[in-house]
């Protein structure tokens, strides 16, 4: 088996830190970035998990969360982590927040602190800080999430542990359809291109589709087509980074004409090309191309 090139990401990222500091959100963000993510794996299984991560051809990078729920076995983690780092590229991310923020988060979610309910949350947080001090000392990255909202936290994790540029973090599906067959239910954005001149009324184009160069050239020959293409491209290039920041991993954009054979097909193909040139991952589909004109 060919040896895989070393990834820009750590092959194994251990996420740990205080309860209420955002470990669950970070693990979900890492999963969105392509990490194989596991929460609350027993300490004794971590070496086996690291071994599988190293040997599996399908796992490029993995992340696992370790926290105070491990109880007394957490004391074994520093030595275990040192052994793991000798066998696999690994990093440790430690999350924390100030006491007031953590107390507020527990109050808002109404969850009990993992250390129990015998004492106040504030007191439990102080105890947890003390117990996690040896692990915190091993961290490659210490992140205080007190001032982060969920969007800012997502952006930080993507910037720190993602490996691709922003455009590749979202997959854009561009599709065509015919209104006579109904609007696709899974569309995020729908554009009606029935205002463009219809090639279906030209005998030599009727049995062709918008993918044919002559049909595409005909539709593009009108000034309103050129202006629409430019305006929609500019709009989408503006919108897509905002969808990325909101955590959307894919977006479906649909263009509709009457039958789904000519104008919408040409437009979907053109917009897909324009977005690809702007650095986005794109796929194109034509839902109604096989249906009767």
Residue 244: the pLDDT is 85
Give counts: helices (H), strands (E), the chain. 10, 9
Report CA 146 to chain centroid distance, whole Å: 23
47 phi and psi angles, rounded to 5 deg: -60, -40
Q: Find the domain containing 257 and state its range.
A: 167-286
CATH number at residue 157: 3.40.50.300
Residue 53: the pLDDT is 85
Claim to verify: residue 40 and residue 150 sit in the same structural domain? yes
Length in residues, the chain: 293
Residue 5 lies in a domain: no
pLDDT in 10s for each residue of the chain, 293 residues: 333 334 445 689 999 999 988 899 999 999 988 899 998 888 889 889 888 888 888 788 899 998 888 878 888 899 999 999 998 889 999 999 988 888 888 888 777 787 777 778 788 889 889 999 999 999 998 998 988 888 888 888 887 887 654 455 688 999 999 999 999 988 999 999 999 999 999 999 999 999 999 999 999 999 999 999 999 999 999 999 999 887 777 899 999 999 999 999 999 999 999 999 998 989 999 999 988 87
Claim to verify: residue 187 and residue 86 sit in the same structural domain? no
Claim to verify: residue 178 and residue 242 sit in the same structural domain? yes
Residue 105 lies in a domain: yes
Residue 7: the pLDDT is 41
Claim to verify: residue 137 and residue 190 sit in the same structural domain? no
Residue 9: the pLDDT is 54
Q: Which of 140, 163, 186 is the last residue of a domain?
A: 163
Nearest partner of 279 among 164, 160, 157, 189, judged by Cα = 164
Residue 293 lies in a domain: no
Claim to verify: residue 192 and residue 84 sit in the same structural domain? no
Claim to verify: residue 180 and residue 154 sit in the same structural domain? no
Residue 55: the pLDDT is 84
Name every residue whose Cβ is closer than 8 Å to that of residue 275 and which is 6 or more positions away in sequence.
172, 174, 233, 236, 237, 240, 282
Element (DSSP H or E) covering residue 252:
strand 250-257
Residue 291 lies in a domain: no
Claim to verify: residue 131 and residue 252 sit in the same structural domain? no
Residue 168: the pLDDT is 53
Residue 3 lies in a domain: no
Claim to verify: residue 99 and residue 194 sit in the same structural domain? no
Name every residue whose Cβ is closer than 8 Å to that of residue 139 and which is 6 or more positions away in sequence.
16, 92, 93, 94
Claim to verify: residue 32 and residue 158 sit in the same structural domain? yes
Claim to verify: residue 158 and residue 171 sit in the same structural domain? no
Q: Which of 119, 146, 163 is the last residue of a domain?
A: 163
Claim to verify: residue 100 and residue 20 sit in the same structural domain? yes
Q: Which of 145, 163, 181 is the last residue of a domain?
A: 163
* E strand spans, 87-151: 90-96, 141-144
- Number of separate domains in the chain: 2
Burial class (CB in 10 A: 0-12, 13-18, 19+), 13: buried
Pair of tokens at residue 5: 């090139």
Residue 185 lies in a domain: yes
Claim to verify: residue 156 and residue 171 sit in the same structural domain? no
């Amino acid at each position: 088996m060919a040896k895989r090139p070393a990834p820009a990401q750590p092959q194994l990222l251990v996420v740990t830190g205080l309860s209420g500091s955002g470990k669950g959100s970070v693990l979900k963000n890492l999963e969105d970035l392509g990490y194989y993510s596991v929460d609350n794996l027993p300490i004794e299984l971590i070496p086996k998990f690291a071994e599988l991560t190293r040997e599996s051809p399908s796992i490029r990078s993995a992340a696992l969360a370790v926290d105070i729920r491990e109880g007394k076995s957490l004391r074994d983690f520093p030595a275990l982590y040192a052994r793991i780092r000798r066998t696999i590229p690994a990093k440790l991310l430690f999350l924390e927040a100030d006491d007031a923020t953590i107390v507020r988060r527990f109050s808002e979610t109404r969850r009990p602190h993992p250390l129990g309910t015998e004492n106040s949350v504030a007191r439990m947080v102080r105890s947890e800080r003390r117990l996690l001090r040896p692990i915190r000392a091993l961290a490659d990255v210490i992140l205080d999430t007190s001032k982060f909202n969920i969007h800012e936290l997502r952006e930080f994790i993507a910037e720190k542990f993602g490996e691709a540029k922003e455009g590749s973090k979202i997959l854009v599906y561009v599709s065509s359809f015919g209104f006579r067959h109904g609007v696709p239910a899974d569309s995020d954005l729908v554009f009606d291109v029935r205002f463009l001149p219809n090639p279906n009324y030209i005998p030599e184009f009727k049995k062709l589709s918008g993918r044919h160069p002559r049909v595409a050239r005909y539709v593009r020959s009108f000034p309103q087509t050129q202006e629409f293409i430019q305006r929609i491209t500019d709009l989408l290039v503006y919108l897509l980074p905002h969808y990325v920041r909101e955590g959307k991993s894919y977006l479906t954009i649909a263009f509709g004409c009457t039958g789904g054979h000519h104008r919408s097909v040409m437009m979907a193909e053109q917009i897909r090309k324009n977005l690809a040139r702007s650095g986005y991952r794109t796929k194109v589909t034509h839902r109604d191309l096989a249906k009767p004109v």
